[in-house]
Each structure stands twice: as structure tokens, then as C-alpha cells.
């Protein structure tokens, strides 16, 4: 296990006045305009947990006035004290992030989960793959809880383990050898385990280039999933010609490629995308530049290649936050990432102008499924001694996934 708690990144935390058990520096939450999410049933079907999450929770939780609900959550928060740590992904709405002891991107939150061993309960306000990673990286006595089991990730769902295994077998049948599988952090634990078993590795958007180097020291070809765009953007940064990167469409024979194309390819990219980041366009960047002379355009590398190339810079969620926070006062930033984060940055950094490239973009609909009503329900059950919505990766999968995660953590 390579996670070094002492080296875990500095965390952002919400108001100290409400958290006497935390000693770290604080950041005030800011207002944000939420929108309605959509319902999806994949996770419930997959894990067989029964009725939809909202049907498992008494309607009173949803009818409760926000102020009463929030006060109940704060009361429970104090009662549970150090036994509980609440983690919040940057894309969570403000009504939820206000309760997070720590904010972070998916990888940072997993490290934080591993680092707070005094907390036996980890309430993960994020999406399913993040809670799985937290479970894998945390200590055996810790339990990870996802407030709404329907909070999945449409991108992670685009690469099913069975389909990836079938593609891997098809490549082997063609005699394509020397292939190193890489899965993006935003994937199911089963895919991380697949990489662990097959000489592969996990990457995040902040270390993808270094992970590519690691993989090319061990093979001649990369098989990258589930995000086609992060894979292609990273390949371009590593100088791999576009003609040497093919896309594997799981709904077509040989992924829609000829045997020759697969033998010639340097990178095989799974046909998957993020429904939030794939929306950003070159036209939006042109409009921002026309309307805001001197604007800096910064985007997430889950965006399409032409959008990354039209921007001034691109990087992970933490990179975007750090870059804008450290920029000179008076600068203007057009940002291509999730709207809750962009609005929060604008509110928390009043000396800069920060706006979203897409003025009508919706938040990540699956992140949005974590509503404060679920947070209250889960915390009431925890306070009553019942652990609900636990995300527990089966031991064999966790063991193999940890191999791939540890390989990533060992990359300098
Ligand atoms: P990070 O949290 O790793 O930046 O990934 C972005 C994202 O899409 C999270 O779901
Ligand atoms: Fe998945 Fe994209 Fe939402 Fe992240 S922002 S959880 S990658 S759909």
C-alpha cells in the first residue's frame, strides 16, 4: 500500500465554527443555482438494492424546509463527531458541499479517505466510482457510504467490464501483443482490477502523461478506457500521431477497426466520454474571446481535442482551481468544466471574473443526485447505528484494483 498519509494533498474544508474536530484552514461555501437532475437506474439494477433510492426514503425528507433539514444535519454532524468524515467532490452543489469536511477531486478525496483512519464512517458526497476507490484505499475498519446509490457516472458506465474483457480477448486472438491497459480513475473497480491483473495501471487527469510514460516502458501499445478524449489528448501531448490512435467502439466487431489498424495502432481508445465535458465547443471559446478581450480559457482534458487545442490551458479539476486562484487580480477566466465548481470559484475569488464557457450547461446530472435529503437520511441512520448505502468492493476485486492503484501511486 503506497498511500502516504503525510503526503496527502492539503485539503479545503468548510467553516471551522461548525467543525471543532478539524484543525485545517477553512474556505466558506458560496451560493450556486441548482438545476433538476435526471433519474437513472443502472446502479440499482446492477447491485440489486431494490427500489429506487427516493422510494426508500420517506417523503418527509424531501418536503422538509431547507433550513430545518440543514440544522438537523449540523446537529447530527456534531453528534457523530470524529467517527464520521464527510467528503465532497468539487462538482457537488453548494447545498451539499457546505457539509463537506474536505473538498477535492476524485483522486484527492480517495487519498483523504485513506488518511482519516480515525473516522470509521466515510460519507462520500460524489459518485459511485469515487466511493469504490475510497473503499479500496481506506482501512478495513472504515465503511464508505454513498448518500444516493443512483449517483453513478455515465462515462464509467460506458465501459462495462465484460465488454473490455471481450475486447482484450479479441486483441489477443489477433495476435496483438505488448498491450498495456490503462483505466482512468473515473471507472468501475472491476476495470481497475482488470488492469491490476493484466499488467496495467490507473491514471487521473493530473498524471495521465506520466502514466503513459510508465506504460510505454512496459509495452508498445496502450489500451485506454473509458474516456476517449482524455486518452487522445494525452497521446497528442506525448507526440503520438493521430493516425496511430484508433477508437474501439464496443458495439461494433473489432471495435469498428480492421485487424491491420489494430496491429498498427499505438493507442486504442475506448469510445466513451463525459456528458459534461464533451459539450464544450470551439465556438464557445471563440465567443468568449470575442466578448471578453484578454480572457484566459482553461478547460478539463475530458473535453474534445479541438477544444483543448483552442484553449489557453487544460488540466485536472485541482489544476483549474489552483491556476485561477493563483492568477493575478483582475484577470478574466472562461472555464470549461462543471458548473457548480465554476460558480463557486467565481464567488470565492471576487478579485477575478470567472464564468462557464457554456452559459446553459447543466451540472453533472449524476453528481446532482446527491441531494441534502439523502445526506440527512443517511446520517440519521448512521446515528441510529445502522449503516445504509455502504459501498463495499468485493475483496478479490479490491485486491486486484489496489495493484493498479498502487502502480499509479508509485509513478513519480
Ligand atoms: P477529477 O475529479 O479527477 O478532476 O475528474 C473530473 C470528473 O469528471 C469527476 O467526475
Ligand atoms: Fe462522470 Fe463526467 Fe459526471 Fe465526472 S462530470 S461524474 S466523468 S459524467
**What would the 3-class secondary structure string for 217-247 be?**
CCCCEEEEECCHHHHHHHHHHCCCCHHHEEE
Atom of ligand 2 nearest to the CA of 154: 8
* Helix, strand or coil, per DSSP, at residue 298: strand
Alpha-carbon distances of 87 from 92, 107, 114, 298, 412, rounded to whole Å: 10, 12, 12, 26, 26
Q: Quote the ligand 1 centre to 264 CA distance (angstroms).
A: 31
Residues 6 or more apart from 332 whose CB is under 8 A from it?
292, 294, 295, 296, 352, 353, 354
Alpha-carbon distances of 160 from 96, 126, 168, 325, rounded to whole Å: 30, 20, 12, 37
Q: Quote the ligand 2 centre to 275 CA distance (angstroms).
A: 7
Residue written as grid cell 468492493 = 393
| Nearest Cα to Cα of residue 243 among 213, 270, 272, 264 | 264
CB 90 within 8 A of CB 321: yes
Task: Please give the order of strands across the beta sheet that includes 313-314.
Answer: 313-314, 296-299, 332-336, 353-356
Atom of ligand 1 nearest to the CA of 105: 2
Q: Quote the ligand 1 centre to 89 CA distance (angstroms).
A: 8
Ligand 2 site residues, Cβ closer than 6 angstroms? 91, 127, 153-155, 186, 274-276, 338, 364, 366-367
The pLDDT of residue 17 is 41
Q: Quote the ligand 1 centre to 205 CA distance (angstroms).
A: 8
- Grid cell, residue 162, equals 465484460
| Rounded (10°) angle between helices 189-197 and 128-137 | 50
| Nearest Cα to Cα of residue 238 among 202, 218, 209 | 209
- Written as tens digits, the pLDDT of the chain (412 aa) is 333 333 333 344 444 444 333 322 222 223 333 333 333 344 444 444 455 666 778 889 989 999 999 999 999 999 999 999 999 999 999 999 999 999 999 888 878 887 888 999 999 999 999 999 999 999 999 999 999 999 999 999 999 999 999 999 999 999 999 999 999 999 999 999 999 999 999 999 999 999 999 999 999 999 999 999 999 999 999 999 999 999 999 999 999 999 999 999 999 999 999 999 999 999 999 999 999 999 999 999 999 999 999 999 999 999 999 999 999 999 999 999 999 999 999 999 999 999 999 977 678 989 999 999 999 999 999 999 999 999 999 999 999 999 999 999 999 8
Q: Quote the ligand 1 centre to 306 CA distance (angstroms).
A: 20
Atom of ligand 2 nearest to the CA of 338: 5
Buried-exposed string 236-271: b where 16+ CB fall within 10 A, e elsewhere = eeeebeeeebbbbbbeeebbebeeeebeebbbbbbb
Atom of ligand 1 nearest to the CA of 302: 8
Ligand at minimal distance from the CA of 205 is 1
Ligand 1 site residues, Cβ closer than 6 angstroms? 105-107, 185-186, 204-205, 274, 302, 316-317
The pLDDT of residue 51 is 58
Beta partners for residue 356, in sequence order: 335
The pLDDT of residue 108 is 87
- In the chain the domains, ranked by start, together with CATH numbers, are 5-152+366-393 (3.40.50.10800), 156-275 (3.40.50.10800), 277-356 (3.40.50.10800)
Q: Quote the ligand 2 centre to 21 CA distance (angstroms).
A: 31
Q: Which of 88, 106, 153 to mutate to test the pocket of ligand 1 (most atoms within 8 A of CB)?
A: 106
Atom of ligand 2 nearest to the CA of 126: 6
Global pTM reads 0.87
The pLDDT of residue 112 is 85
Q: Quote the ligand 2 centre to 155 CA distance (angstroms).
A: 6
Q: Quote the ligand 1 centre to 129 CA distance (angstroms).
A: 11
> Which residue's alpha carbon is at the smallest distance from atom 7 of ligand 2?
274
CB 340 within 8 A of CB 36: no
> Which residue's alpha carbon is at the smallest distance from atom 6 of ligand 2?
153
Amino acid at each position: 500500500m503506497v498511500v502516504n498519509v503525510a503526503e496527502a494533498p492539503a485539503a479545503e474544508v468548510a467553516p471551522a465554527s461548525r467543525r471543532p474536530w478539524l484543525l485545517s484552514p477553512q474556505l466558506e461555501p458560496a451560493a450556486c443555482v441548482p438545476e433538476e437532475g435526471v433519474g437513472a437506474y443502472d446502479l440499482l439494477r446492477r447491485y440489486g438494492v431494490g427500489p429506487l433510492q427516493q422510494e426508500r426514503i420517506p417523503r418527509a425528507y424531501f418536503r422538509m424546509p431547507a433550513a430545518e433539514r440543514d440544522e438537523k444535519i449540523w446537529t447530527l454532524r456534531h453528534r457523530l463527531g470524529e467517527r464520521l468524515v464527510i467528503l465532497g467532490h468539487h462538482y457537488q452543489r453548494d447545498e451539499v458541499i457546505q457539509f463537506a469536511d474536505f473538498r477535492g477531486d476524485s483522486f484527492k478525496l480517495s487519498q483523504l479517505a485513506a488518511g482519516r483512519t480515525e473516522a470509521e464512517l466515510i460519507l462520500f458526497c460524489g459518485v459511485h466510482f469515487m466511493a469504490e476507490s475510497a473503499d479500496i484505499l481506506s482501512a478495513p475498519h472504515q465503511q464508505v457510504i454513498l448518500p444516493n446509490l443512483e449517483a453513478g457516472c455515465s462515462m464509467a458506465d460506458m465501459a462495462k467490464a465484460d465488454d473490455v474483457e471481450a475486447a482484450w480477448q479479441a486483441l489477443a486472438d489477433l495476435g496483438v501483443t505488448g498491450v498495456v491497459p490503462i483505466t482512468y480513475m473515473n471507472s468501475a473497480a472491476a476495470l481497475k482490477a482488470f488492469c491490476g491483473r493484466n499488467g496495467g495501471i490507473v491514471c487521473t487527469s493530473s498524471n495521465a502523461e506520466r502514466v503513459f510514460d510508465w506504460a510505454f516502458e512496459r509495452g508498445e501499445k496502450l489500451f485506454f478506457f473509458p474516456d476517449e478524449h482524455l486518452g487522445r489528448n494525452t497521446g497528442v501531448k506525448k507526440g503520438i500521431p493521430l493516425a496511430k490512435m484508433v477508437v474501439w467502439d464496443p458495439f461494433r466487431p473489432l471495435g469498428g477497426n480492421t485487424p491491420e489498424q489494430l496491429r498498427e495502432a499505438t493507442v486504442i481508445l475506448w469510445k466513451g466520454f463525459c456528458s459534461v465535458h464533451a459539450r464544450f465547443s470551439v465556438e464557445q471559446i471563440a465567443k468568449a474571446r470575442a466578448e471578453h478581450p484578454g480572457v484566459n480559457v482553461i478547460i478539463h482534458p475530458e473535453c474534445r481535442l479541438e477544444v483543448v487545442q483552442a484553449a489557453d490551458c487544460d488540466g485536472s479539476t485541482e489544476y483549474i482551481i489552483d491556476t485561477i486562484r493563483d492568477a493575478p487580480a483582475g484577470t478574466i477566466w472562461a472555464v470549461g468544466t462543471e458548473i457548480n465548481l465554476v460558480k463557486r470559484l467565481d464567488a470565492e475569488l471576487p478579485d477575478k471574473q470567472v464564468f462557464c464557457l457554456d452559459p446553459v450547461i447543466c451540472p453533472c446530472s449524476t453528481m446532482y443526485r446527491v441531494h441534502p435529503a439523502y445526506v440527512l437520511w443517511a446520517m440519521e441512520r448512521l446515528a441510529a447505528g445502522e449503516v445504509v448505502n455502504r459501498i463495499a468492493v468485493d475483496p478479490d476485486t479490491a485486491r486486484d484494483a489496489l495493484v493498479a492503484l498502487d502502480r499509479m501511486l508509485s509513478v513519480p
